[in-house]
A = this chain, B = another copy of it.
Amino acid sequence: MARFHADVHIELKPLVNDPAGLVIRDALRHIGFEGVAGVRAGKYLSLELQAHDRVDAEARVAEMCRKLLANPVIEDFRFEVRETAPAESIPA
């Protein structure tokens, strides 16, 4: 097994209204940032995981997103995976 780091982004689907984004936008305007046209609020998760290789790591993270991390009714997800420790450095 090798170690991987995954950066997962979860965002509301474009058509879903985003109360948090609206409140943040208004708050920014309120404190003087008039030029803010829109804000969307999402989540950013960083994961450390073990996997056989990059393809395996990507498959795992995609499944985590589908099963738990994102709600397909309202959210889209995307992620990037990078290796942090190669297989030979970690006992199986």
Picked from B24, B27, B33, B69, the residue with its CB within 8 Å of the CB of A60 is B33
What chain B residues lie within 8 Å of A49 (beta carbons)? Answer: 33, 35-37
* Interface assignment of A45: CB less than 8 Å from any CB of chain B: yes
Q: Evaluate contact between A48 and B37: CB separation under 8 angstroms.
A: yes
Residues of A within 8 A of B (CB): 1, 3, 9-11, 21, 24, 27-28, 31, 33, 35-51, 60, 63-64, 67-69
Count this chain's copies in the assembly.
2
Q: Give the complex CA separation of A54 and B48 in angstroms.
A: 34
Picked from B9, B24, B36, B47, the residue with its CB within 8 Å of the CB of A39 is B47
Q: Given known contacts A1-B35, A28-B64, what 6 new A-B pairs fall within 8 Å (CB)?
A: A3-B37, A11-B44, A31-B67, A35-B51, A37-B50, A42-B45
